[in-house]
A and B are shown apart, each in its own frame.
Chain A
Amino acid sequence: MKELKYTITDPEGIHARPAGLLVNKAKEFASDIKIGKDGKMVDAKRIFGVMGLGVKTGMEITMSAEGDDEADAIAALEAFLKAEL
């Protein structure tokens, strides 16, 4: 399993649009991908779960990937987070 931690800098946090983009990005990979904060992890391929976390600017999130393409997935998600959030 691979993991990453990232602190959100987008002033609006993970609002609807980036949540959608994040879910789409996660869906590109076969691995089981999760996102969470404060220990609560949800499926990163499900938009309601991602939006339901209510992640705001300044909060630290954790993402994990488990599966054959886990290394690629984490690298791609890290690049995505840096560019969009």
Chain B
Amino acid sequence: MITIKGKSVFGGVSIGKIKFYKRNDKVIKRTHVDNTTAETERFHDAKKIAIEQLKELYNKAIADVGEANAAIFEIHQMMLEDLDYIESIENIIQTQEVNAEYAVATTADNFAQMFSSMDDAYMQGRAADVKDVSERILNILSGSGETSMKTDEPVIIAADDLAPSETVQLDKEKVLGFATMYGSASSHTAILARTMNIPAVIGLGDELSEQFDGKDAVIDGFTGTIYIDPDEATLTVMREKREKDLEQRRLLDELKGKENVTKSGQKVNVYANIGNVSDVGLVLKNDAGGIGLFRSEFLYLESNDFPTEEAQFQVYKQVAENMAGKRVIIRTLDIGADKQVDYFNLPKEENPALGYRAIRICLSQPEIFKTQLRALYRASAFGQIAIMFPMIISVDEVKKIKEIVATVKAELDEEGIPYKKDIEIGIMIETPASVMMSRELAKEVDFFSVGTNDLTQYTLAIDRQNPKLEPFLDTHHPAVLRMIQMAADNAHAEGKWIGICGELGADTELTDQFLKMGVDELSVSPALVLPLRKKIRECE
């Protein structure tokens, strides 16, 4: 078995034989022509045919991948009609008295070079578009027609790189996946692969060789890996991964865009939990209604020193913008206990789960807290951010937090920095104390979010990490469920909403009960959004 790593552009697993895509490689010869007017005409005729072909391709692409993705073929037409491009070709033919092929190839090189030298990756990728359209004219001029890929059984297409027009012309029914040696994630081929739901790996490099033509292979689009001549163990793992993915996609087809509503009409928000910016794609893909828990710890865990306000701001802003107006609940720093960071210099504790962690650090070291709050408030101007505070046990803590928030707002006002005035503030319900005080706490905040993992551990006095305690741990313990009920009742009594962001939120055996309690929102890992939606729609 040979394993090659590349970059993933679309998840999914495909298993099949490799077919190496071969292009009619042409060598463009520079030849002298006497009649430059006729040669210019030859170019114009070829250009007309190319534009006709692109129109057809555009229509095919609209049907296959939608208008937004098909637009590239309209751009291709415009490139061929661009006067700079045409004048360059005409000039070369007339002044150098050379053949149209040479003029087109030279012009294509120049324009591709212009894009390649631009300082942004997206524009650099457009060099491929120039080459693609020019290649089309060259094919017409030489009468060689288009390269086609004929195959009877579905295959994994391997190539050095694929132009957008080549990708769209492939028969979708016959393509299991793409694997290319070069190409970038922002290439249109990558975008088309994503739209066509085809697993794809790019940037595999020279290791992917034509010798693999006809061999068995597996593409793991999730990790960006291709296995050639896979062994039995790899095949078994990959088959399972493929089944799981297909099940998820089936759910997606069935449930995407559908409401989270029970048979009797009760609605509930289903949001997703994330731990990094890179998870936002999964949130959107799985059609979550918002982000119910964004763990901000990664900013601190991935850094060697306290992350700056600016660094945090950029991250929060990006997530808020990508979620485009959907609610994004960001939990402030929850370091301590099982999550340690060197530069915090936290002393070793006998009992860290009950120790110096989360909001306790923030209230003791308000400078760290204020940096994060400033970043959050600044980012609030770019979407619908809500802020949530962990490990609350008293009203007094919430009041102290609100004082610090007021200082932060006053500072921003003074500096003339915009932020959203009515940003929602909530607390985690994860200590028994916060449940007992939930009526009073509800008066102070806009929402609750139940962290069931800690609430279970603190209510039952059972260490989650200790396997010896497993026989004593009932994850559906009525004491925990009553706690949630009590917090929900008190939230609603004060006109506030309550969500669940811990593991129990995804437990479909409890969904029915949570709905009866009147829980307003359930936040689960992105992959569980749709299974949960399915369950909700089956509830009475």
Contact = CB atoms under 8 A, between A and B. Distances in A.
A15 B124 CA distance: 11
B75 interface: yes
A51 B84 contact: no
Given A54-B123, A56-B120, A48 B79 contact: yes
Contacts of A16: 71-72, 75, 126, 129
A52 interface: yes
B410 interface: no
A49 B84 CA distance: 8
B119 interface: yes
Given A11-B321, A16-B126, A54-B123, A47 B75 contact: yes
B85 interface: yes
Interface string B110-140: 0100110011101100100100000000000
A24 to B, nearest CB: 8
Contacts of B79: 47-48
Instruction: Report the contact-size class of chain A (Cβ under 8 Å from the partner).
Output: 20 to 34
Instruction: From A43, A46, A48, A54, name the one whose CB has the most chain B CB atoms within 10 angstroms.
Output: A48
A72 interface: no
A46 B321 contact: no
Contact of A20 (B68, B75, B321): B75
A46 B82 contact: yes
A56 B123 CA distance: 11
A40 interface: no
Q: Classify chain B's interface size.
A: 20 to 34
Nearest to A17: B71
Nearest to A42: B84
B233 interface: no
A69 interface: no
B470 interface: no
A48 B120 contact: no
From A11, A43, A46, A49, residue with most partner B Cβ within 10 Å: A46
B114 A48 contact: yes
Nearest to A56: B120
A23 interface: yes
A12 B83 CA distance: 26
Given A17-B75, A20-B74, A48-B111, A12 B122 contact: yes
Contacts of B78: 20, 23-24, 47
A23 B84 CA distance: 13
Contacts of B83: 43, 45-46
Contacts of A20: 71, 74-75, 78
Contacts of A24: 78
Interface in B387-445: none
A45 B321 CA distance: 32
Given A20-B71, A20-B75, A48-B111, A15 B82 contact: no
Contact of A51 (B119, B123, B321): B123
B219 to A, nearest CB: 28
Contacts of A46: 82-84
Nearest to A21: B71
Interface string B62-80: 0000001001101100110
8 contacts: A15-B123, A17-B68, A17-B71, A19-B75, A24-B78, A47-B82, A52-B114, A54-B119
Interface of A: 11-13, 15-17, 19-20, 23-24, 43, 45-49, 51-52, 54, 56
Rank and list the top 8 A-B pairs by shortest CB-CB distance, nearest first: A47-B78, A20-B75, A17-B71, A16-B75, A54-B118, A48-B82, A48-B84, A47-B82
